[in-house]
Structure 1
Amino acid sequence: MEDSLSYQYVSHIQAVFSRMQQVLAAWLWGQHGRFVLWLPVLLAAGIAVYFALPWEPGGMAAFGAGMVAMACLAGRLLWRDSLPVRMGCGMVGACAVGLLLAWGQAHRMPPFPDLPRRAVHLSGRVTGVDAQTLRDGTQALRVGLADVRFLEGINIGMPPLRRQIALRLRPDDPSIPVAGDTLSARVMLTPPAFPAMPGGYDAQRRAWFDGLAGHGRALDRVACAHPPVTPAMSARLDTLRQGLGQRISAALPGPRGTVAATVLVGADGVIAADMRQSFADAGLAHLLAVAGLHLAIVMGLTMTVVRTGLALSERAALFWPCRQIAALCALLAGAGYVLLTGAHLPAQRSLLMAALAVGALFVGRRPLSMRALAVAAAVLMGLAPEAVVELPLQMSMAAVMALIAGFDGLRPVLSAWAQHEVWWRRMGARVSRPLLASMLAGGACVPVGMAHFGTVQPWFVLANLLAVPLMSVWIMPWGLASLLLMPLGAEKLALVPMGWGIGVVAWLARLVAHLPVAHVSVPAMGSGGLVLFFAGLCWLCLWAGRARFVGVVPVVMALLSPFVGRMPVVLVSPDARMVGVVTGQRLLSGPGMHPDPFILREWQRVTGLRAGLLPVDGRQDGVACHGGVCRVAGQGGDIVLLLGARLSDAALCLGAEAVVNLHGQTGCPGADRIGRFDVWREGAYALYPRAGGGLVVKRDRAVRGARPWVMRPGGAGMPDLPLAQAE
C-alpha cells in the first residue's frame, strides 16, 4: 500500500514537472521569432565581460573562446529541434564571439610608445585639424599627427611612431595647417592620463583603441610644409571641412557661428564651455552632437524635396518609382553629410540604420524595426567592439531601442486616435507624437547620463519639445541651404536666418538651465548598475507579451543603485598631489587653493557632491587640520593626511587606521600607509569604510588589472628603439 502511494506521488510530481516543461517550451517557442533580436545583446555581454576581467586573456584563452563558438554553432546545426540546446548554444556562442571580437581588437592595436618627458622637436604628417575653445575663451587649433619622428637626441633615425599625437598649437600661432601637411614643432608631450580614482573614467583605454600615443602642447610657432603629392581622400575631406568651418564663422561670427559650424561640418571643439554647459543642463546636449537627429532631418528634407520635384512631372509621377528614388537620393545626401561632419560613431550607426530603412522600402518592409536596429548594432560591434563601453553607442542604442519599442506598443492607440471622429483626439494624436518621442528617448538616456556624467536633467522633456521642432523646421533647412549657396558666395543669406533660430534655442537652453533643480548632481551609477539597467531595458523592449514588464524591476534597481552604495572617505589623485575628503554633503580637496579641475570634476561626478577646500587651520565637517596635517574622523577609523608636513607628533598616530603621506613614505605603526611611491606604483587610491569597522583600500592598478592599455608606473611605454642586428 505504501509503495503504491509512493509511486502515485512520484508520478504526480513527474506529471507536474512535465506539464511545467511543456508550458515553458510553448512560452519560449512563442518568442522564437524574436530570439534573433538578442544577438547584439549577447555580443555586447561578451564584450563587456572582456573589459570587466581583472587580467588579460592569453592566446590559449582566445583559442578556447573560438572553439566554444564553433562548438555552439555545431550544436545548433545538429540539434536544431531541441529548444534548450538551441538557446544554450546561441547564448554561450554569441558571448564567446563578443569576447573574441574585443580581444582581437585590443591586441590589434600597437603598444603605447615611451614619450620624452622634456621639450622635444618633432615632425609628423597632419591627419586632421579642428578648432578648440580654451577655458579662457581663446581659440587654438588642435591637429592630429601621424608618422611622428623625434628630431633630437637618441631618437634621431628611429622609426616613426605607430600611434598618433594630438597636438594643440599656440593661440597666437598664425599657421593654418591642413590635412596632408608636414608639421614641425617644439612640443611638450604627456601620455594618456591615469584614472582619477579606482573605477573612474579610463582615458588610457580610450586612447588605446583610438590609436593615440598621447597629447602635446606646442611651445613655439610651428612650421608647415605642403606635400608635392595629391593628398588622400580623407585629407581632402578634412581640408574641405576646415574651409567650410572658416567660411561659416566669417559669415556668422560669435557663439551662433560655432553652433552652426558644429551641426554643419562637425566642428565640435569650437563651442564655448558656458554654452555647452547650458545645453547639457537643459537636456539639449544631443543637438550639439551630430547623430541620428541631424541625419534624419537631412534625409527627410532631401526626400521631401526630391519627391515633390518628381511629382511635378506627370510622367514621373505615373510611371516612375518616386518613393524609392527619393529614398535613394536621401540616403546619398545622408552619406555625404556624415562624411562632411567627420563620420563619428553615432553618425555611422544612424547612417547604417538609414541604409537598412531604405533597403526595407525597396523590398516593401517596415523602414524602422527592431530587426534593423539589431543588424546595425551587430555590425557596429563587429567593427568597433570597444564602443560597447563608451557613451555614444550606449546613448544612441538606448534611445533608438526605446523609441521603436515604445511606438510599436502605442501604435494601436495612436492610430485609433488619429482616425477618431472627435477632433480633439485627432489633434492629440498629432501633438502627442513629438512629446512621446522626447519622453521615450530622453527617459532611456537618463540612466546612461547618470553613469557617465553623474547628473539628471528633469526638464529635458520641456526643452526638447520646443527645441527639436525648431531644429527640424528652421535651423537645419537654412543650414543646408547655406551649403548649397557656398559655391556662389551667398551663404550669408541662409546663415543669418539660421543664426536667428540658433539664438532662440540658446536662449531656451539658458532659460531651462536656470530653472529650479534643472541640474541635479547624483552619485554616478557604477558599471554593475549600468549593466542591470541595460538588461532591464532590453527585456522591456525585446520581449513580447506582458512578461516584458518584469524588466521594470532591474531598471528601478539600477536607478536606485547609486544611492545605496558606499561613498569613499578619502581619495588620492594618481599624481599624489591632491587628496579629496568626503565629509557631510561636500567634497573637500587640498592642499592648495587651486585643485586640478579635471581630477576634481571626475571626483564630483562619482560622488555627486559640491566641491570645497580643506581648511588650512581649523575644523570643518569632521576634518581637523593644523600645520599641514589633517585628521579625518570616520566610522571606519581615523585617517591622517600629511599634506605639507612630516609626522613628528606620536599623538597623531593614536586611533589612526591609515596614513596618507603626499611627500614620503613614513606612517604610523600598525596603520595602512599610502605614500608617494605607493601612488606612483599603484595609481589613484580610494578609501572606503568597512561595514564591520576598518577601511577598504582600493588601488587603481588592482581594479583595472594587467591589461594592454594599462600603462606602467609613471606612464612609461614601449621604447621606440630597434633591436640590434645580431638580435
Structure 2
Amino acid sequence: MRTTDPGRLLLPLAAFALGIALGRSWPGAGAWALAAGIGGGAELAALARGFGPADRRLPAAAAAVLLFTALGQAAWNHRLDTLRAASADLVALSARPGRHVLTGQVLRAPVATEDGVLALVAVAALHDPAGDRPLHGRLALAVRGLAPEDLEPGAWIRFACRLKPIRNHRAPGAFDRENRWATRDVRVAGFVDHPLRLLRAAAPAPSGAISRARLRLERTRARLLGALRARLPQPARGLAVAMTLGEKAELEPAVREAFARTGIGHLLAVSGLHLAMVALFAGGGLAWCLRRSRWCLEHLHLRKTATAAALAAAAAYAGLAGFSPSALRALLMVGAFGTALLADRPQAPLNALALAGWGLLLLDPCYLFDVSFQLSFAAVFFLVLAAPLLGGAGGDADETPGWFRRRARACVLVTLVATAATAPLVAWHFQRFSPLGLAANLAAVPVVGGLVLPALLLAALLWPVAPGAAALAWKGLAPVLSAVAALVERAAALPGAAAWIPRPGILPVTAYAALLAAGLVALGRGARRRGAISLAGALLLAAGWAAGAPNPAGRDLVLHVLDVGQGTSQVVELPGGKVVVVDGGGRRGTAYDMGARVVAPFLRTLGRTRIDVLVASHPEADHVGGLPALVEQFDVGEIWANGDRSRDETWRLLMEAAAARKVPVRVWRRPGRVTLGGAEVEVLPAGGCSRRGGRNARSLVLRVQAGPASLLLPGDIDRRREACLVESGLPPADILVMPHHGSRSASSPAFLARVRPRVAVCSAGWRNAFGHPAPEVLARYRRAGIPVLRTDRNGTVTARWDGTAWTVTGSPPGPFFRAEAADQGAERVASTAPASAASSTSGVIRVAPIPSESTK
C-alpha cells in the first residue's frame, strides 16, 4: 500500500519551524506574516488553476514555503500573546516588593534542590490587607527547608513568597531559562525562605488546573520517585531516577558532568528507546497472555489489541516522565506507527518523525528552541536517512555466518551517525567536543540500554502491583548502577576525554548538516563517490570548529560588561588579540556557577579559547564566584590578585584550580604597567589607602589605554579609595564602570570630575536587594551629563573603540519580556580627541539620546 511522500510533510514543517524562528528573532513582523500568508495562499490557488502538473512543482513549493513560514510566525506570535496573557497577573504582582500571600495548587511532583524543593504551582488567589481576590498564573515555587515528600501533587497550599520574573542573563551563549520555563507556561518564580511560611490548605483534588487523569499520573510519579529515593543510595539513586523518569535533579553533579564529558548524557533522558521498551513489554506481555485463551484467539485481533495496549502504556509512561520534549517526540512517533498498524496503513519513518514535529510545534512553538527537542530530532532524522546503510550493515538475523560481525558494524554505524548528527548542536549549545564519545557510547549503550534500562523499566512496571519484587530488583541494581557511575567518572577523568571549543557560527552548522544529509542520502542510493565527498566536507567543517580557532586578533579595543546579576564580570578585548577577564560574577549562598553558565559560554561565543590575564579584583563571592570555572575551562596565562585572603569557598576553589592547572598568581602591592598587545594596562592596588576602607575598598583598579582610548575598571572601591586615586593624579577615562555597582558609598563628585567619563556602565542585578544603583548616584551622573547604561536593564553592555569613536550598545532582552522592556538603545559617542593621560578636555563629544529608563 502506498505511503504519503515524506516531502509533503517535511518541507512544510521546515518552513513552519523557520517561521517560528523568525518570529522569535524578528518581533513585530505580524504584518509581514499576514502579507506572506495571503500571498502564498493566493499563489497556490493561482497555480492550481493556471499551470500543468509539471510546471507547478517549483512555484508551488516556493508558495508553500512562504505560506507555512508565515503560519509559523503567526503561531509564535499567538503563543507569545497567550503566554503573556496567562501570566500577566503574576508579572504585574512581581513588580511590587515584599512578600505576597498566595493560594495555589501543586501541579507536578516537586523535585529536590540544594536547600529545599522546587514545585510547579497554579496560583488561584492573592490575600492582602485590601482583601482576597482571584489571581491566575503558573509559578515556579522554590521552598527552602522542605523535602519533596512534603508537597503532594494536587495539594492546595497557602504560602508567603517573594516574586521575581524569570529572566535570562542577557549575554550571548547563556542558558535560555525563559524558554525552558515558557514550555511550562511559567514566567515568574516564587521564593519561600522558611517552611513555616507555607501551609497545606486542602487535600489533593482535581480542578480546572489539573484533570483527574493527570492528577493520578502525577501522584503515581511522586510515589515512584519516593520509592526510588527510599530504596537506593547515591549515586545509584540519581541514575535510576534519571533513567526511569527523566528527572535529573537527583543526580550528583560529578556524575552528571562525567556523563556529559564522555558524550553519553543522552542515556539520562527518556527517549524512543524507553518508550519502545515499555510498548514492547506491555504489548508483548498482553499478546502472550491472550494467546493462552482460545476465546481471545477466535474473537480478537491479537496484533491490533496488543498494539493498542502498547500505545496506552507508552502514553502513560511518557506522562510519568513528565512529558519532556524527547518523550513527547518518541510518543508521537510511536503513536504514528501504532495508528498506522491499527488502520492497516504503512507509515514511513520520516512521515512519523514529521508528524511528531508537527504535533510538538503546534502544541507549543517554544519546543523548537528546547535543546532536547533539537538533539532528539536531529539524531532520529539522520538515522532515518542512514537506514539503507544500517540495513546493509545489519543483515539478516537468521544468517548465522558473520551475523555478529554485521550486528557490530550496524551498532558502530548507528553510534557514528547519531554522534555526527548531534555534534554541531552540542557544539552550539554547550561548546563541547568529546573525542571519547564514540568509544564511550559503544561501551555504555549495550550495557545500559540492553541490560540496566530494561531492568529499571521492568521494576517500575512491577512496582504498582508487586512492590516487594520491585524493591528486590532495585536492591540488585544498586551496585550495578554505582559501578556504572564509577566507570563513567573514571573515563571522564582520562586526558583528552573532552574539550571545550569555540561556539560555531550558524552558517557552518547549517552547511555541516546539509553536507551530512547529502552524504548519507548519496551513500544510501549507491553513489559512493558523491557521498564520500559530501561527508568529507562535513568532516572538515567539524574539524575546523572542534580544533578551536586561535583568539581573533582584532584591531579594536572592546569592553564587555556582562549581565551576571548582582555581581561583576568584565571582558576586555585588546588590540592584537589579547583578552583580559576582570572578575567572574557569582551568587552568595548558591551553587549556581556564573562562570560556567554565563561567562565561559560568552567567551567561547567570542571565539576565545585562552584568557591571557584573569583578574580577581578582590575576594568577594559576587566577583570571584565564577573564576574557578574559567581556570578549569580555559588556557589561562596569569592570575592577578590584590593580596587579600578569604575563607570564602569560591576563593579556595580558585586557588586550588590555579595550583592544579599550574597557573601563576601575581599579587599586586604597588602600582605598575603591563603592555598587552596594542594596549597598556595600568594596575592600581590600594597601597597606602588600604587602611581607609574594608575589603571592597582594597579592590584592584585597572586602567586600560589603547592609543587615545581609555577604560577605567574600579571594582568595588568607595569614596575614600576614590579620594586616594584623585590625589594620586588619576587620568580621565572615556568609559567608566561605576564603582561598587552604583552604591551610595562611591561615585563621589570629585571622582567623577576627575575621571570625566564619556559613558558610564553600571553592573547590577535586576531589582536587587541592595537598591543598586542608588537613585541619588544616578542623579549625580545625570547632572554631570554622563550617559549611563545598566546591565539590569540593558543586558550585557559592549563598548567598542574602532579608532575614531566609541560605540556603546546593550543586549536585547529575551522574547518573553521584549514587550515589557523599553530600556534598549545604543549610544554613539564620537570624539575627535578622547580623554587620555595627555589630553582630557580637547575635542567635541556627541552623545545620542539615552532612553529615559536607563537613568531613572
Normalising by structure 2, we get a TM-score of 0.70
Preserved contact between residue 265 and residue 340 of structure 1 (Cα < 8 Å): yes
2:761 to 674, 677, 684: 674
Preserved contact between residue 228 and residue 240 of structure 2 (Cα < 8 Å): yes
- Note if 1:96 corresponds to 2:168: no
Alignment of 1:41-190 (within 5 A): 41-53=14-26, 55-58=27-30, 60-78=31-49, 79=51, 81=53, 82=55, 83-109=57-83, 110=85, 111=88, 112-115=91-94, 116-134=96-114, 140-153=116-129, 156-160=131-135, 162-172=136-146, 176-190=150-164
Q: Provide the residue aligned with 1:217 in structure 2.
A: 191
- Note if 1:192 corresponds to 2:166: yes
Aligned-pair CA distance for 1:522: 1.6
Preserved contact between residue 154 and residue 215 of structure 2 (Cα < 8 Å): yes
1:488 to 466, 483, 489: 466
Q: Provide the residue aligned with 1:26 in structure 2.
A: none
- Note if 1:631 corresponds to 2:631: no
1: CA distance, partners of 2:360 / 2:250: 28
2:630 to 597, 611, 623: 611
Please tell me the residue identity of whatever aligns with 1:41: A
Deviations, residues 518-541 of structure 1 (Å, cap 9, x unaligned) = 221122335555555555555556
Q: Provide the residue aligned with 1:250 in structure 2.
A: 230
Q: Is the partner of 1:487 in helix, strand or coil?
A: coil
Q: Is the partner of 2:482 in helix, strand or coil?
A: helix
Q: Is the partner of 1:217 in helix, strand or coil?
A: strand
Preserved contact between residue 179 and residue 235 of structure 1 (Cα < 8 Å): yes
2: CA distance, partners of 1:92 / 1:189: 42
2: CA distance, partners of 1:431 / 1:119: 61
1: CA distance, partners of 2:393 / 2:708: 56
Deviations, residues 194-215 of structure 1 (Å, cap 9, x unaligned) = 4241464343344445322322
1: CA distance, partners of 2:816 / 2:405: 57
Alignment of 1:269-348 (within 5 A): 269-308=249-288, 322-348=302-328
Q: Provide the residue aligned with 1:599 in structure 2.
A: 594
**Larger deviation, residues 207-216 vs 38-47:** 207-216
Q: Is the partner of 1:376 in helix, strand or coil?
A: helix
| Equivalent pairs, count | 671
Please tell me the residue identity of whatever aligns with 2:37: G
2: CA distance, partners of 1:362 / 1:650: 85
**Larger deviation, residues 614-623 vs 195-204:** 614-623
- Note if 1:454 corresponds to 2:425: no
1: CA distance, partners of 2:201 / 2:5: 61
Please tell me the residue identity of whatever aligns with 1:573: D
2: CA distance, partners of 1:228 / 1:420: 57
Q: Which has the higher contact order (CA 8 A, sep 6+)?
A: 1
Preserved contact between residue 642 and residue 660 of structure 1 (Cα < 8 Å): yes
Deviations, residues 68-112 of structure 1 (Å, cap 9, x unaligned) = 342243244334622331222122222222212212211222243
Deviations, residues 324-379 of structure 1 (Å, cap 9, x unaligned) = 44433322221121112211221111011111222344566666622221222122
**Larger deviation, residues 405-414 vs 447-456:** 405-414
2: CA distance, partners of 1:593 / 1:240: 36
1: CA distance, partners of 2:23 / 2:583: 35
Preserved contact between residue 100 and residue 161 of structure 2 (Cα < 8 Å): yes
Q: 1:337 and 1:497, CA in 2 relative to 1: closer, same or farther beyond 3 A?
A: same
- Sequence identity percentage: 21
Aligned-pair CA distance for 1:246: 0.9
Q: Provide the residue aligned with 1:648 in structure 2.
A: 726
2: CA distance, partners of 1:205 / 1:174: 25
Q: Provide the residue aligned with 1:718 in structure 2.
A: none
Preserved contact between residue 301 and residue 477 of structure 1 (Cα < 8 Å): no
2: CA distance, partners of 1:388 / 1:329: 30
Q: Is the partner of 1:473 in helix, strand or coil?
A: helix
Aligned-pair CA distance for 1:660: 2.2
Query: Over aligned residue pairs, what C-alpha RMSD do you find?
Result: 3.9
Preserved contact between residue 564 and residue 586 of structure 2 (Cα < 8 Å): no
Preserved contact between residue 196 and residue 603 of structure 1 (Cα < 8 Å): no
Preserved contact between residue 175 and residue 224 of structure 1 (Cα < 8 Å): no
Deviations, residues 16-48 of structure 1 (Å, cap 9, x unaligned) = xxxxxxxxxxxxxxx997464322222211211
For structure 1, the residue ranges without an aligned partner over 5 or more in a row are 1-30, 715-727
Preserved contact between residue 536 and residue 555 of structure 1 (Cα < 8 Å): no
Q: Is the partner of 2:163 in helix, strand or coil?
A: strand
1: CA distance, partners of 2:66 / 2:20: 13
Preserved contact between residue 187 and residue 217 of structure 1 (Cα < 8 Å): yes
Preserved contact between residue 109 and residue 221 of structure 2 (Cα < 8 Å): no
2: CA distance, partners of 1:305 / 1:444: 35
2: CA distance, partners of 1:73 / 1:635: 60
- Note if 1:371 corresponds to 2:351: yes
1: CA distance, partners of 2:708 / 2:537: 33
2: CA distance, partners of 1:209 / 1:218: 23
1:661 to 723, 738, 741: 738
Please tell me the residue identity of whatever aligns with 2:761: I
Preserved contact between residue 196 and residue 684 of structure 1 (Cα < 8 Å): yes
Aligned-pair CA distance for 1:432: 1.7
Alignment of 1:405-416 (within 5 A): 405-412=385-392, 414-415=394-395
Q: Is the partner of 1:253 in helix, strand or coil?
A: coil
Normalising by structure 1, we get a TM-score of 0.81
- Note if 1:685 corresponds to 2:796: yes
2: CA distance, partners of 1:86 / 1:166: 46
Q: 1:565 and 1:630, CA in 2 relative to 1: closer, same or farther beyond 3 A?
A: closer
Please tell me the residue identity of whatever aligns with 2:796: Y
Q: Is the partner of 1:674 in helix, strand or coil?
A: strand
Alignment of 1:223-238 (within 5 A): 223-227=199-203, 230=206, 232-233=211-212, 234-238=214-218
Alignment of 1:511-526 (within 5 A): 511-526=490-505
Aligned-pair CA distance for 1:404: 1.0
Deviations, residues 217-275 of structure 1 (Å, cap 9, x unaligned) = 21222201224855532223222211121122222233212322333344432222222
Preserved contact between residue 615 and residue 625 of structure 1 (Cα < 8 Å): no
2:10 to 37, 42, 50: 37
Preserved contact between residue 283 and residue 459 of structure 1 (Cα < 8 Å): yes
1: CA distance, partners of 2:442 / 2:297: 36
The structure richer in helix per residue is 1
1: CA distance, partners of 2:134 / 2:564: 31
2:444 to 450, 455, 467: 467
2: CA distance, partners of 1:320 / 1:585: 72
Aligned-pair CA distance for 1:510: 0.9
1: CA distance, partners of 2:225 / 2:335: 28
Preserved contact between residue 145 and residue 164 of structure 1 (Cα < 8 Å): yes
Alignment of 1:435-454 (within 5 A): 435-454=412-431
Q: Provide the residue aligned with 2:854 in structure 1.
A: none
Q: 1:261 and 1:675, CA in 2 relative to 1: closer, same or farther beyond 3 A?
A: closer
Please tell me the residue identity of whatever aligns with 1:570: H
1:589 to 583, 589, 599: 583
